[in-house]
Amino acid sequence: MNDLLTIKGLTVRFHIYEGIAPALQDLDLAIGQKETFGLVGETGCGKTLTALAILRLIPPPGKIESGTIMFNANGGSEPVDLLALSEPDMRSLRGSRISMIFQEPSAALNPVFTIGDQIAEAILLHRPEEVYQQAADAVDQRLANAAGPVSILARPVWSVERRLYRQLARNPESVWLKFVGRVPLVRRLLWRISVEAEKMAAEALKDVEIPDAARVVRQYPHQLSGGMKQRAVIAMALACCPKLLIADEPTTSLDVTIEAQILELLRKLKVDTEASILYITHDLAVAAQICDRVGVMYSGTLCEVATAEEMYGNPLHPYTKALLAAVPKPGVEPSPIRGFIPDPLSLPPGCRFHPRCDYATEMCSKETPTMREVTPGHLVACHV
Amino acid sequence: MEALVEVRHLKTHFPILKGLFRRPAGAVRAVDDINLAIRREQWMGLVGESGCGKTTLGKTIIRLLRPTSGHIYLGAPSDAIAEIESLEHSRDGHHRLKALRREHDLATFSGKRIKGVRRRMQLVHQDPYTSLNPRMKIRDIVAEPLAVHGIMRGKQASERVANILRLVGLSEQHMARYPHQFSGGQRQRVAIARALATNPEFIVFDEPTSALDVSVQAQILDLLKHLKAEEHLTYLYITHNLSVAETVCDSIAVMYLGKIVEMGTALEIFHSPRHPYTQALVLSTPIPDPKTKRVRIILPGEVPSPANPPTGCRFHPRCSRATEECRSTEPTLEAKEGSRLFACWHPLE
């Protein structure tokens, strides 16, 4: 059992006025360590919902009805069930162990805060000790190098500062230090925290290959281009070294050349940070370029899971085949899938794809197919 | 084959106004000196990154925007175009030139004349979620161009709308519904139906499938292909997706920062690009096959601002083959070998 994340029988339903819409139905999914797992499918098939379910951020009236999401944060030790965690525990996981890159970078960033502020927020929330330690070290440096008449006056202040930062680093939850942080004038002794956090934010930006990071931390989102914003969002997601990075269509709103840059960056970061990536996309071509394994979703269920080579070389599910045929490829005419995605309120019985399927039989309209392993690592949910 | 749409030295600049008196302090050169000819029943693709002026060019051609200078012809006789061209270079014949341009050049049209010509060319917008009025029924949306141009109204118009809806794969029952009752693909069909209402000859598609799923995209492209064959239409298809352009278009023009850098048939552009920018675009287009590992060319940096384009070749700051010549002098779009047009000092073999 060394998978990072194992989802078993996840069911999400939306209780709305017109009825109950099963948005996800008995979803089984496993993401290994250091793996890029691609989740592809059309609009409304539940890709983003799966990601939100992992973070337990499903908006009401949606509800997680059943299932388990086992998350193995520390490698060897026993995994935890994310659905059984308390809300404060979940909060400390979000953004630190599991973080998410959203589709629209301009919507994910707050327009009234600088890029540096927003990255620093994540850092201060999830690893404040390091910031305090760095601040203490900075004062240490000051004390060691100080010389001249000014330093004689400043020395006592710096010593107090150093003590404060050290105490904070040892015990970030300390109540009386929190009190100090609120008292006017005394509060100013803690000014280094924001300076150090900004420095760390600049480091994070440098990691995502933003040129001139020191300037960018002080800029507002509207001053950056789309590609730069997406890099900043990635930097924010990676600021706390997550084990699992959920990327929800990170390149959909970008140009191909910028998309290629971002994909290259993600590929590199994955090697550097040893994180797993859950890559959600509707673009099969992008998934082919970046993913190790790919899962195809249709109307709330997974219909095929395989390695990328296997999926594109030997697709087994009729929906996967149809989807691959619909992608424009050089020299090949794209062939459309007939019909439309079913309405989640009135799903067809049996296999959900059968009204649009060319291979459908009597059985398909009666029984729901279950996942079976055809060859090692290649799972298909289809009767045919 | 005679060209239906011909664009000569077209420029569309947007002034940047500054100071107390809003004086122009510069200009965003969205479309800068473009020559383009689209033959009858041709499917022309226009590709490029966002901000390169694709949409501005499309909108200028159908005269939703007023060009700063240049000529646009729709079905003008070639001898008239040639005469205008020659008169422009000579010193005399101002009156003749003016009369000819009034007659043929869309860039000089305004008011009633532009309305008359707009019946013959239509635009399909990018996002079907914003291009349809949510408070109008489908029947009214599709019949609006008929009413605006005074072609038909009432029962007659309803019949025509029903016919067009059938043509784009919808049915008569959809006429009484509102846009929110449709999916993205169906909405785009409604938008296409609206464009077809006045029986145009030329349609500009501004990224019609970029908001849609691949399976729906294939449906729409299929529909466009049928419509083109049945109604003898001419398309200008604006897209940023090179693989879509390759599969459907007859010929492709690649735009970079307000200029066309390369033009050729779809096969030529995709398989033997001559301009380094085209090559970079082709190679950064992901293909759905993990086995084919291509040499990736990742372009450094981003598209510069069109308000302040680089000197010389506009692509040189991002180009790996740039030399001193590229920095100082701008290459022109020329037919260097056969029918291939490209603007580069150091083309790829």
The pLDDT tens digits for A236-254 are: 888 888 888 999 888 877 8
What is the rounded average pLDDT of the residues A10-37?
84
The answer to whether residue A1 scores a pLDDT higher than 60 is no
Nearest by CB: B50 against A255, A261, A263: A255
CA angle B25, B26, B29 (to 5 degrees): 160
User: B285 and A256: CB-CB below 8 Å?
Assistant: yes
Arithmetic mean of pLDDT, B112-124: 89
Among A311, A332, A353, the domain boundary falls at A332
Structure tokens at A307: 């390695």
The DSSP 8-state label assigned to residue A219 in this structure reads S
Q: Are residues A123 and A103 in the same domain?
A: no
In a shared domain, residues A81 and A42: yes
**A343, amino acid identity:** D
Q: Which residues of chain B lie closer than 8 angstroms to A325, CB-CB?
A: 218
- Are the beta carbons of B252 and B48 closer than 8 angstroms? no
| ipTM > 0.90 for the complex | no
Give me the pLDDT at residue B295, please.
64
Is A191 part of any domain? yes
State whether residue A91 is helix, strand or coil.
helix
Amino acid at A329: K
Cα A131 to Cα A144, A187, A236: the distances in Å are: 20, 16, 16
Q: Are residues A245 and A327 in the same domain?
A: yes
Mutation target to probe the B interface, by most B beta carbons within 10 A, among A40, A228, A253, A256 is A256
Shared domain check, A89 and A145: no
d(CA B271, nearest CA chain A) in Å: 9
The token duo for A239 is 């600021």
Query: Residue B92 above 90 pLDDT?
Result: no
When pLDDT is averaged across residues B312-328 and rounded to a whole number, the result is 86
Look at residue A10 in the predicted model and tell me its pLDDT: 87
pLDDT at residue number B58: 92
| Residue B88 distance to chain A (closest CA, Å) | 39
Report the mean per-residue pLDDT for chain A: 83
| pLDDT of the residue at B141 | 93
Question: Is residue A330 within 8 angstroms of chain B, CB to CB?
Answer: yes
Of the candidates A226, A285, A331, which has its C-beta nearest B286's C-beta? A285
Cβ within 8 Å, pair B284-A334: no
Range of the domain at A129: 115-204
Contact B298 A261 (CB under 8 A): yes
Sole residue written with tokens 């349609």:
B203
- Asked if residues A38 and A281 have their Cβ atoms less than 8 Å apart, the reply is yes
Q: What is the reported pLDDT for A77?
A: 63
3-state secondary structure (DSSP) of residue B221? helix
The CA distance from B220 to B204, in Å, is 15
Q: Is the dihedral of CA B104, B110, B115, B118 positive or negative?
A: positive
What part of A 307-326 touches B (C-beta under 8 Å)?
Answer: 308-309, 312-313, 322-326
Which residues are within 8 A (CB) of B92 and not within 5 positions of it... i.e. 6 or more apart? none
pLDDT band at residue B139, thresholds of 50, 70 and 90?
very high
For chain B, percent of residues with pLDDT exceeding 70: 96
**Cis, peptide link before residue A61, omega less than 30° from 0:** yes
pLDDT band for A377, please (50, 70, 90 cuts): confident
Q: Which of A34-48, A343-357, B30-44, B296-310 has the highest mean pLDDT?
A: B30-44
**Rg of chain A over CA atoms, in angstroms?**
25
- CATH of residue A47's domain is 3.40.50.300
What's the start-to-end Cα distance of chain A, in Å? 31
- Are A103 and A8 part of one and the same domain? yes
B265-294 pLDDT tens trace:
888 888 888 888 988 888 888 777 766 666
B186-210 pLDDT, tens digit per residue, is 899 999 999 999 999 999 999 888 8
Amino acid occupying residue A367: E
Q: CB B184 to CB A333 under 8 A?
A: no
A17-21, A39-43, A222-226: the lowest-pLDDT one: A17-21
- Residue A74 reports pLDDT greater than 60: yes
A346 three-state secondary structure: coil
> 331-370 in A: which are within 8 Å (CB) of B?
331-337, 340-341
- Judged by DSSP in three states, A126 sits in helix
CB A100 within 8 A of CB A107: no
Residue A121 forms contact with B (CB below 8 Å): no
DSSP secondary structure string, B154-184? HHHHHHHHHHHHHHTT--GGGGGS-GGGS-H
Asked if the structure places residue A92 within a domain, the reply is: yes
Looking at the complex, report in whole angstroms how far the Cα of residue A288 sits from the nearest Cα belonging to chain B: 5
- Candidates A34, A19, A62; CA nearest to A270 is A34
Q: Are residues A9 and A101 in the same domain?
A: yes
Split at pLDDT 50, 70, 90, the class of B1 is low
Look-up of token digits 């150093």: A162
State both tokens at B254.
Answer: 């690649």
Residues of chain A neighbouring B286 (CB-CB closer than 8 A): 256, 259-260, 263, 283, 285-286, 288-289
Interface with A, mutate which of B215, B255, B318 (most A CBs under 10 A)? B215
Under a CB-based contact definition with an 8 Å cutoff, are residues B261 and B344 in contact?
Answer: yes
In a domain, A182, yes or no: yes
Chain A nearest CA to B170, separation (Å): 12
The answer to whether residues A96 and A131 belong to one domain is no
C-alpha A47/C-alpha A64 separation (Å) is: 15
Q: Are residues A48 and A195 in the same domain?
A: no
**Is residue A225, in this structure, part of any structural domain at all?**
no
**Closest residue of chain A to B277, computed from CA coordinates:** A257
CB count within 10 Å of CB B320 equals 11
* Listed residue (B258, B255, B253) closest to B269, CA to CA: B253
Contact check, Cβ <8 Å, B214/A282: yes
pLDDT at B28 over 80: yes
Q: What pLDDT shows up at residue B339?
A: 67
**Residue in B closest to A261 by C-alpha:** B298
Same domain, A317 and A274: yes
Strands (E), chain A: 3-16, 19-32, 36-40, 62-71, 80-81, 98-101, 244-248, 276-281, 293-298, 301-307, 372-375, 378-380
Mean pLDDT along residues B50-60? 88
Which of these three, A204, A231, A254, is where a domain ends? A204
Q: Do A332 and B247 touch (CB under 8 A)?
A: yes
User: What local confidence, expressed as pLDDT, does residue A103 receive?
Assistant: 82
**Mean pLDDT in residue range A15-25:** 82
Instruction: Answer whether residue A76 shows pLDDT above 60.
Output: no
Q: Is the pLDDT confidence value at A222 over 80?
A: yes
Q: Are residues A245 and A325 in the same domain?
A: yes
Interface contact A286-B286, CB threshold 8 A: yes
In a domain, A359, yes or no: no
Query: For strand A3-16 and strand A19-32, is the pairing parallel, antiparallel, or unpaired?
Result: antiparallel
B148 or B215, greater pLDDT = B148
Question: What's the DSSP call for residue A365?
Answer: G
Residue linked to tokens 């360590």: A33
User: Using one digit for the tens of pLDDT, what is the confidence trace for B214-273?
Assistant: 888 888 898 999 999 988 999 999 998 888 888 889 899 999 988 899 998 888 888 888
Check CB contact of A261 with chain B, cutoff 8 Å: yes
- A338 to chain B nearest CA, in Å? 8
Same domain? For A16 and A102 the reply is yes
Residue A344 lies in a domain: no
CA dihedral A88, A89, A95, A99 (to 10 degrees): -130
Interatomic CA distance for residues A25 and A379, integer angstroms: 17
CA closest to A335 among chain B residues = B218
User: What residues of B are in contact with residue A292 (Cβ under 8 Å)?
Assistant: none
* Residues B7 and B72: beta-carbon distance below 8 Å: yes
Asked if the model's pLDDT at residue B143 lies above 90, the reply is yes
Number of structural domains (chain A) is: 2
- Classify residue B230 as exposed, middle or buried by CB count within 10 Å of its CB (0-12, 13-18, 19+): exposed
What distances in angstroms separate CA A165 from CA A144, A186, A296, one per listed residue?
16, 13, 50
B211/chain A closest Cα distance in angstroms: 10
Sheet holding B234-239, edge to edge: B121-124, B202-206, B234-239, B43-47, B251-256, B259-265, B340-342, B334-337
**pLDDT category of residue A12 using cuts at 50, 70 and 90:** confident
Residues of B in contact with A106 (CB under 8 A): none
Residue with the bigger pLDDT between B277 and A78: it is B277
Rg over CA atoms, chain B? 21
The reply to whether A209 touches chain B by the CB within 8 Å rule is: no
Q: Does residue A198 share a domain with residue A129?
A: yes
Q: Of A176, A204, A232, which closes a domain?
A: A204
B287·A334 Cβ contact <8 A = no
Report the SS3 class of residue A296: strand
Provide, rounded to the nearest whole percent, the portion of chain A with pLDDT above 90.
4
| Residue A82 CB coordination number (10 Å) | 23
- B215–A323 C-beta distance less than 8 A: yes
Tokens representing B199 are: 């029986």
Residue of B183, B222, B243 with shortest CB distance to A340: B183
In 3-state terms chain B splits into helix, strand, coil percentages (rounded to 5) of 40, 25, 40
Contact (Cβ atoms closer than 8 angstroms) between residue A42 and residue A282 = yes
Most confident of the following: A60-64, A73-77, A115-119: A115-119
Residue A158 lies in a domain: yes
Task: With CB atoms and an 8 Å threshold, state whether B287 touches A329.
Answer: yes
pLDDT in tens, A306-361: 888 888 888 888 888 888 888 877 666 677 777 777 777 777 777 888 888 888 78
Helix axis angle, B154-167 relative to B138-148, nearest 10°?
Answer: 120
Among B289, B294, B298, the strongest candidate for a mutation testing the A interface, having the largest count of A CBs within 10 A, is B289
- The B-side interface with A (CB below 8 A) comprises 49-50, 183-185, 213-219, 221-222, 240-244, 246-248, 270-271, 280-281, 284-291, 296, 298-299, 302
Q: Tell me if A289 is assigned to some domain.
A: yes
User: Within chain A, where are the H helices?
Assistant: 47-54, 87-93, 105-108, 115-126, 128-145, 149-170, 175-180, 192-207, 213-216, 226-238, 256-273, 284-290, 308-313, 318-326
Q: Identify the residue whose tokens are 């141009």.
A: B149
